[in-house]
Amino acid sequence: MNNLITNPLFIRNKLPLFSKIKAEDISPAINYFIKENKKLIKKLSLLKNPSWDNFVRPLEVCDERLNRVWSQASHLNAVINNDNLRKAYNNNAIKISKYYSELSQNEQLQNNFLKLRNHPDFKMLSKTRKKIINDELLNFKLGGVQLSPKKKTQFKKIKSELTKLSSKFQDNILDSTNEFILNILDKDELQGLPKEIIKSAKETAVALKKNGWVFTLNFPSYIPFMQYADNRLLRKNFYFAYATKASELANKKYDNTKVINKTLALRLSQANILGYSNYAEMALETKMAKSSKEITDFLRNLAKKAMPFAKKDMQELELFALNYGIAKIEAWDVSYLSEKLKQSKFDFSDNELKKYFPQNKVLKGLFNVTKKLYGVNIQKQKADVWHDDVEFYEIRDSKKKLIGQFYLDLYARKNKRGGAWMDEAICKHNLDETPSLPVAFLTCNFSSPSKNKQAYFTHDEVITLFHEFGHGLHHMLTEIDDYSVSGIKGVEWDAVELPSQFMENFCWNWKVIQDMTEHETTKEKLPKSFFEKLINAKNFQSGIQTLRQIEFALFDILLHSGFNPLKKNFLTLLEQVRDEVAVIKPPSWNRFPHSFSHIFAGGYAAGYYSYKWAELLSADAFDLFEEKNIFSKKIGELFRKEILARGGSRSALESFVAFRGRKPNIKALLRHSGLAN
């Protein structure tokens, strides 16, 4: 027990001590809480007269204390990955999976929840607590509680194996990404690249003790290279490395082919054991959408509306490509030609615009928007962090009361998972003597600042930051303190992107943009004329981009509904989807699925459509702000009260209708995307 007392993962009365957490701390903490939880759960399962206070509340205590430890461990594995952390994470992920599988198959616990729901006092409970009980009963069903002992064992084995595969999929991507570098020794091969990108590549080379310039597959390095490098052969080679990572065409040691096939087969088996015909049917039990047909109809209808615009976009690009001697556009030409075309049409480049978005101004602008909308103040504070780049902030209401906190980890680095995300560090709840405040992890992968200079962001990166902060606000501005539905917990997966995509809209408003810009040399704000160019370019190639998202979403939902991995190759299915909805066809050796971590390692399986689904909701919600005033305190307070504050305490549709006064419709999405006729 002495070792446990000094274990930083046991700290509960203050913020985590990330700099002191070691890989060897993880297993003792997880083992301890699983053991203690099991002791309590055994007692709870034997209760004769379960109530909220003597049964549900203690179960929530079990869930919260284990999840708090696991959130710290899994976050560190994602942001400062190393061999020891990875081993500890993977080993304990299996334990966590086994623990929750056993919990969801505990018939005595299920029976106590049924007693609660059937008891006359059930009608006296709040609507929130009724939802929690009903959600738990659905979780028991999806956990296989009604299965025979033999099938229960089989089901748990499948879930454990899926956990391993998810970790393996992500590890393969990270290792494959870290393994590749593009080392350029001839300066002539850098033609077209902005000097800031060249400087960053030189700094990377120095750090790796290489001559010349080094580019990596991390977004801040890869994206600008593909946009600006004049050397077509180098673009092709770099694209090949990016498009084939974690596949048999790169290092076979990190090939995700078997991982994908096994994952799909196990998901199908998992669904079949529970009596569902496919995985999507099972997964949609907890979504707003109720069938894969409803989703495919939605996606195909949107594709039909976007297709004429996408074809027009492509025709324009093909005609423009002739100016560069390119008769047939290949995948490695698209970003390059699109950037050149955008510069030609709108008289600015992404890199030119980037010089106006310094980190300090962008954060100040973001926090000002939040203050205007919701009356909260955000201030930087000191906290123990996992890396020198990480910053920590507090959110206080108009009376200076502390209501939430968050960690901000903005920059890409080696051994950090790619992409951008928000996750829960601590959830709001009333389970302890002192109620707990919500704390969030906000993680991005932007370009690191050069020496003695702050970071500058592209407009796309600014949008990404607003997006993730929207998720953070959903978590931190919750007013629900019943743990299971606090913040983003209990929110249907296809609605969880509503607050994040809603925030993106403010990145296209002049008052917001003006407030967050300052040129790196002249120190002037972005000129209104430049902003008007940005607005004119807002829906540049919107048809192509919409179809690209539909391609991913349609592939995902078909992969998890009518597809049998034992009878068909998933790459063949992807080709069929592309034949149906894509106007840009990647080469046959493109291995996009091998790094599609959203659906194979990120919780979006049979749910990638959520981005477009929730974009419809967010566009319709923002439409009300546009009708009135985008900084309307009245509408802002309504959005906070009915969407952000309510968390998962009621259905997402109920929350939307409470805010908007009606059900959502697609008109605003089409108009915002430039797809309205």
Catalytic residue numbers read 468
Looking at residue 53, the DSSP 8-state letter turns out to be I
Sign of CA dihedral 208, 212, 216, 222: positive
> Rounded to the nearest 10 degrees, what angle do helices 83-104 and 149-179 cross at?
160
Helix, strand, coil percentages (3-state) for the chain, rounded to 5, are 60, 5, 30
- Indicate the angle between helix axes 331-346 and 528-536, nearest 10 degrees: 140
> Is residue 317 classed as helix, strand or coil in its secondary structure?
helix
Crossing angle of helices 542-559 and 292-321, in 10° steps, is 140
Q: What span, in angstroms and rounded, lies between the C-alpha atoms of 435 and 623? A: 36
Antiparallel, parallel or unpaired: β 377-381 and 391-396: antiparallel
Strands 181-184 and 402-411: unpaired
633 token code pair:
């305190």
Residue 381 has φ and ψ, to the nearest 5°, of -135, 175
**Tokens standing for residue 277:** 């015909």
What are the backbone angles phi and psi of residue 393, rounded to the nearest 5°? -135, 155
Q: What separation in angstroms does the CA of 121 have from each of 19, 46, 55, 138, 590?
A: 48, 20, 14, 20, 58
**What does the radius of gyration of the chain's CA atoms come to, in whole angstroms?**
25
The rounded Cα 416 to chain-centroid distance in angstroms is 15
- Chain length of the chain: 677
Q: What are phi and psi of 292, to 5 degrees?
A: -65, -30
